[in-house]
Amino acid sequence: MAEQSCEEDLFCGVNKPDTEDPEDMSALDKKHTVIIDAPDKVEEGEEFEVTLKVGEYKEHPNEVGHFIEWMELYSGDTFLARLDLTPENSHYVMKTTVKLDHAHPLRGRAKCNLHGLWESEKEIEVV
């Protein structure tokens, strides 16, 4: 049996855009990139708001056959929050309030029923 690579399989592993510049992204990357809106620097143990968005660069479909199933937020590998979504009646924005006691990159994940798992990271300084 031939060995398969994840490179051509959107459901194998975690997908990330090839570039951070939306002008250079493919249409697939633009529809699935997870945007993390949060401060660059936060006070240790103090609450702050984080917003995750999908489809900011190019609208992602929201129909029964093609939609974002869920969005999750992590600090490093530590799970912080999850939003389950339904087709047609939901919008791809997740807002939550968190607090950090140490610095790890925030990681946003979104699962498309047709194009797999997508992830982005944002560095946060904790002072």
Does 78 reside within a domain? yes
User: How far apart (Å, rounded) are the C-alpha atoms in residues 75 and 57?
Assistant: 24
Specify the number of domains making up the chain: 1
Determine which helix (DSSP H) or strand (DSSP E) holds 36, and give its type and residue range: strand 34-37
- Does residue 1 belong to any structural domain of this protein? no
For residue 33, is it within any domain? yes
Residue 58 lies in a domain: yes
**CATH code: domain of residue 27:** 2.60.40.730
In a domain, 112, yes or no: yes
pLDDT of residue 3: 52
Question: Is position 9 within any domain?
Answer: no
**From residue 109, how far is each of 45, 46, 100, 127 by CA, in Å?**
23, 23, 18, 25
Query: Residue 3: inside a domain, yes or no?
Result: no
Residue with tokens 């990139």: 33
Dihedral sign, CA of 12, 16, 19, 24?
A: positive
- Tell me 10's DSSP state: T
This prediction has a pTM of 0.88
What is the domain extent for residue 73? 17-126
Query: Above pLDDT 90, what percent of the chain?
Result: 80
The pLDDT value given to residue 7: 64
**Is 6 among the domain residues?**
no
Per-residue model confidence as pLDDT tens digits over 7-28: 667 777 888 988 889 999 999 9
| pLDDT classification of 90: cutoffs 50, 70, 90 | confident
